[in-house]
Amino acid sequence: MQIPEIDPREAQRRCLLGATLVDVREEGERAAGMAEGALGIAYADLTASPDSHLADRDGELLLICQSGRRSLLAAEALARMGYARVACVQGGTALWAAEGLPMWRPEPGIDQDFHERYARHLLLPEIGSRGQRRLQAAQVLVVGAGGLGSPAAFYLAAAGVGQLRIVDDDKVDRSNLQRQILHVDEDVGRSKVASARSRLAALNPEVSIEAVEARIDSGNVEELLAGVDVVIDGADNFPTRYLLNDACVKLGVPMVHGAVHRFEGQVSVFDAGRHRGESPCYRCLFPQPPAPESAPNCAEAGVLGVLPGVIGLLQATEAIKLILSLGEPLRGRLLQFDALAMRFRETRLPPDAACTVCAPGLDFPGYVDYEEFCNGRG
């Protein structure tokens, strides 16, 4: 689809003859100055509901951004929607100003921190201000402030997820520092959630950090899941993973699972509570827990320090995608990573029609003694 591109002086001439000039940059960008006479409508808002902004599909529209790329994408989207006379301004606002054409500055009153902090997100048409506000309104439960929870929480806070509830009952040990990047040497002996709250607040003071120093169990799991959009499974033991899975299925909350062992890790999204019969749960992958001797924890088997960073970042990515309904989450797929071979492998995970927790039409069976279950006595 070929979109006409015109120079700024021609755009100004057409505006004087009645064409509508639309600046598709974000509000924070437009605050620095706009082409005189332009309407400010962010790309994401314009392409999501063009009729609410531009009712006349036959009128001449001229789109402008900073340099020309976003305006071209917006023009192509509008043309596909039936807008008959759409063109782009070559060189964007930068060339408009360089040629000495009149500019104007909108009235102050924008949230400058929001636009500066998330500027690179706001440039992405798939996110924009609307998506960033969705992140800002979201709440994520991070179970574990250790190897997986550390990178996941860091990047969720940096991305602007508005509320992080972090649950862990452990203290910082010096052996943690090789991989648990939320903590530093002076935190040794301090509770992990307190250390996490300090570090994340320093990174992004706009994010609300709820630090819960407790061990998650069947008595508090539903309270901890209240109001949560996504769960990050950073647990280091099977009883907690099975408990989280069962509660997430019952309450319809997606769980982003992650696990590491020596030089290998895995990630998946278990979302059976919202997609019964379509998406598996953790029990579909592991109907029975592996024997303890076949799945030792990091303290017993060791782990490459950078490996939880890779897996935790993938978990944060999946959480952001779920919040924004963006892309293709890892539902029904297990992504496995071999650090020594530097290789990813994907395995399809179909839902188990006989699953004891997520089978379609099955009532929630109730919580069990997960310690006994995982020790082979349940």
- Catalytic site positions: 298
229, 140 Cβ separation under 8 angstroms: yes
Nearest by Cα to 149 from 302, 333, 335, 316 = 316
Q: Do residues 179 and 147 lie in contact, with contact meaning Cβ atoms separated by under 8 Å?
A: yes
Burial class (CB in 10 A: 0-12, 13-18, 19+), 108: exposed
Distance CA 292, CA 308 (A): 21
Nearest to 331 by CA among 293, 264, 284: 284
Q: From residue 149, give the alpha-carbon distance in Å to each of 11, 225, 257, 261, 308.
A: 51, 16, 11, 15, 9
Q: Strand, coil or helix: what is 186?
A: helix
Half-sphere exposure of 8 (CA within 13 A, CB side): 24
